Each structure stands twice: as C-alpha cells, then as structure tokens.
C-alpha cells in the first residue's frame, strides 16, 4: 500500500524533530554532480555529492520500492565516496539504504557499504552483503545510525549499487521536540514515475519530498 500524504502548501507543518525523514532519489533522471534538493526530490537544503570530481550521479535503470512507493534509483559511482549534506540547522541521526545491484546475477565481487559516516565496515559486520540484483521491488534495506552530523559520507565496495537513500534528521541541538517548517508551494511536482509535471496534474504526486493525491 502506497504512503499517502496530504499537501499543505504554504502552511506550517508540525513535525517531530526526532522523526523527520527525507527520501533522496533522482526523479528527474538527471546526470549531475552534485545533485541538489530539487534534483533529489527532497526538502530544500539537501545535497548529494560524489567526492570523486570527475564522476556524476546518474539515474539508475529502474524504480526502487520504498514502503510501497516507487522512487527513481540513483546510480552510485562504484567505489567512490559520497557525501550527504543536510539543510542548515539540521543534523542526521540515521541513514537507510534501499539498494539493488546493477547486475542481473551474483558475481565474485560482493557488494556492501564499506564506509558510512566515517566508520568502516566489512561484509560481516554491516548487516551483510547486498544480495538484490536488479530486483527493484525487493531491494536490500540497511540502516546505519549517524551521530547527529550536519553532513556524512558513505561508499560501497564490490559491484555497482543502485540506491534510494532515506535520511532521518532533526533540528541541531533538539531531539523529539516539535517545531514547524513551511512547505514551499512553488517547489517542483513529480508524478509517481519521477517525471516533473504541471502544477495542475492529477493522481499520486510528489512535492517537497512528500507524496499526496490530487483528484
């Protein structure tokens, strides 16, 4: 069942500082480095950067299912370190990777997250290797705690991953405290396939990183 959110444009939205999440994908299927918030389909201020400057972050060839909703995958530059930067005043407490490998079947080069937020991992101690091969409806799901960082890095080893990234974050210096943010009513709108649409489009839509239905 797809997650449905009600659009509340230009209104204050109450959030819990300890439970806010942002899903980073590539709804516009762009090739760029870095990817900004609009390109990620995420709240303003999020940025994803490949730290290998001669590489780009490309769209993966498929839609990864996250909690019943489909998001355009990001193709990570294999083995390169990447960095997620959060909006001003916010810090990350957890990152969850929804990952499938850019291969049709297993190879000798097993893939796993070798570094997350400055901590290195082996295939045995980071929730295991990634064993989903172009199975976009059933990605591997792996979560890592982040020690309240304004930005954090990650990289893989082995075969190339296709990924959608979910970041749990809150206001710096607060935890579990309600606050308010204002939705950007002029933010771009995408359909469920990650294609940018007009403001009067109907159906399941995405704006400000949230999903809603317009009839």
Dihedral of the CA atoms 4, 10, 15, 19 (nearest 10)? Answer: 60
Model confidence at 193, pLDDT cuts 50, 70, 90, reads low
Q: How far apart are CA 192 and CA 196, in angstroms?
A: 10
Q: Is the pLDDT confidence value at 1 over 90?
A: no
Asked whether 85 and 46 are in contact (CB, 8 A), the reply is: yes
Return all residues near 166 (Cβ < 8 A) that are at least 6 apart: 21, 22, 23, 24, 66, 95, 96, 97, 98
Distance, CA of 143 to CA of 23 (rounded, Å):
13
Q: How confident is the model at residue 9 (pLDDT cuts 50, 70, 90)?
A: very low
Burial 117-143 (b: 16+ CB within 10 A, else e): bebebebeebbebbebeeebeebbebe
Taking the C-alpha atoms of residue 72 and residue 206, their distance in angstroms, rounded to an integer, is 12
63-67, 95-99, 163-167, 196-200: lowest mean pLDDT where? 196-200
Task: Name which of 66-75, 150-159, 205-214 the model is least confident about.
Answer: 205-214
Q: In the 8-state DSSP scheme, what is residue 4?
A: -
pLDDT at 178: 36
In 3-state terms the chain splits into helix, strand, coil percentages (rounded to 5) of 0, 50, 50
State residue 180's pLDDT score: 36
For residues 56-63, average pLDDT: 95
To the nearest whole number, what is the mean pLDDT of the chain? Answer: 84
Per-residue model confidence as pLDDT tens digits over 104-156: 999 999 999 999 999 999 988 777 789 999 999 999 999 999 999 999 999 99
Element (H, E) at 37: helix 37-40
CA distances from 112 to 60, 87, 141, 145 (A): 17, 27, 11, 16
* Whether the Cβ atoms of residue 116 and residue 154 lie closer than 8 Å to each other: yes
* Interval 85-112 mean pLDDT: 95
């Amino acid at each position: 069942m797809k997650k449905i959110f009600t659009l509340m444009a230009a209104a204050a939205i109450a959030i819990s500082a300890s439970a806010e999440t942002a899903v980073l994908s590539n709804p516009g299927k762009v090739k760029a480095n870095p990817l900004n918030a609009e390109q990620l389909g995420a709240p303003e201020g999020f940025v994803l950067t490949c730290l290998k400057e001669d590489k780009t972050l490309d769209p993966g060839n498929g839609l990864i299912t996250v909690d019943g909703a489909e998001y355009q995958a990001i193709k990570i530059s294999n083995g390169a370190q990447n960095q997620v930067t959060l909006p001003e005043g916010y810090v990350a407490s957890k990152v969850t990777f929804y990952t499938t490998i850019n291969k049709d079947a297993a190879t000798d080069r097993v893939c796993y997250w070798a570094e997350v937020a400055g901590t290195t991992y082996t295939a045995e101690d980071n929730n295991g290797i990634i064993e989903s091969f172009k199975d976009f409806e059933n990605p591997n799901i792996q979560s890592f705690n982040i020690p309240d960082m304004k930005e954090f890095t990650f990289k893989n080893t082995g075969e190339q991953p296709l990924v959608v990234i979910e970041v749990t974050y809150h206001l710096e210096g607060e935890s579990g405290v309600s606050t308010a943010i204002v939705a950007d009513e002029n933010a771009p709108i995408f359909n469920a396939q990650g294609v940018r649409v007009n403001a009067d489009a109907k159906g399941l839509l995405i704006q400000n990183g949230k999903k809603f239905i317009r009839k």
